[in-house]
Structure 1
């Protein structure tokens, strides 16, 4: 017996309309079901495959800023997708914690309106021991981003640069 994959995760939220707007408009998730009376929204990035990957429901009791989960990570298909999120987050004023290479991924750590940490990332076909996290400059051409990520793998500095 073994887990095949993560099916879905969810968050308790204070402001359901605000959070629904953030995850649908900014991240592109689609509402697959919702119940206004119960204050719950089901979302998916690929509703034809998975009814819901993410759930938002009213009822949060923890204060904004209290740690509830480590992160929610959203895989994208291309570096261009990562760069589009980079530009969109900047336009929308979304708080970004760090833009990084993990050696096996390039991503952006950011926060939703209620302070939950998320990540959008592109998986790179490479096996790199984790944790590996170094800051990356996404304000450059794609070939330079890949070159910088490659150089950071072997630059001799500490492989994990935690950001609080």
Structure 2
């Protein structure tokens, strides 16, 4: 059976293209790789040398306050990066839903200026039964974050213990 190998890109219809472009470039750190002002569309990438675009914003959102998606998840490379986003979101007044451990990842759920839920996350190389989502204090020093995440996992019981 054929299967996809990766998520290529996703896109959002938006009300305020300039506001959303600013958020995803300045706050999240994506790079604009293409745009068409007449069509009101912006293409963005976290890896512009490798992928033309992973994310598209286009003017034309019409669905009032309806939920248009579950979440957009952005993978990051280090705990230092996660802590940087933690502070950046505070500095920028970004609405954070929860800072979490999933056992196999540490993440921050947050909302963009138009209310779309996003997540930045660091993959932890182990398998843990999902769903597993416990609040994690990212104000702690890095070594204590790892200790706290392990304690939360241990407290969850044997059904959630890593398989590796």
TM-score band, normalised by the shorter chain? over 0.9
Deviations 1:18-55 (A, max 9, x none): 00000000011000000000000000000111000000
Residue of structure 2 equivalent to 1:162:
none
TM-score of the two chains, using structure 1 as the length reference: 0.94
- The 2-side partners of 1:156 and 1:86 are apart by 25
Correspondence list, 1:103-118, <5 A: 103-118=103-118
Q: What secondary structure does 2:32 align onto? A: strand
- The 1-side partners of 2:136 and 2:63 are apart by 32
Residue of structure 2 equivalent to 1:4:
5
Q: Which consecutive aligned stretches of 4+ in structure 1 deviate over 3 angstroms post-superposition? A: none
Structure 2 alignment gaps of length 5 or more? 160-164
- The 2-side partners of 1:75 and 1:92 are apart by 20
1:136 aligns with 2:136: yes
Deviation of residue 62 (structure 1)?
A: 1.3
- The 2-side partners of 1:86 and 1:139 are apart by 8
Deviation of residue 88 (structure 1)?
A: 0.3
Length, aligned pairs only? 158
1:54 aligns with 2:55: yes
Residue of structure 1 equivalent to 2:151:
151
- The 1-side partners of 2:152 and 2:106 are apart by 12
1:30 aligns with 2:22: no
Deviation of residue 154 (structure 1)?
A: 1.3
Residue of structure 2 equivalent to 1:41:
42
Q: What secondary structure does 2:22 align onto? A: helix
Deviation of residue 156 (structure 1)?
A: 3.5
Residue of structure 1 equivalent to 2:88:
88
User: Over aligned residues, Cα RMSD in angstroms?
Assistant: 1.4
Q: What secondary structure does 1:154 align onto? A: helix
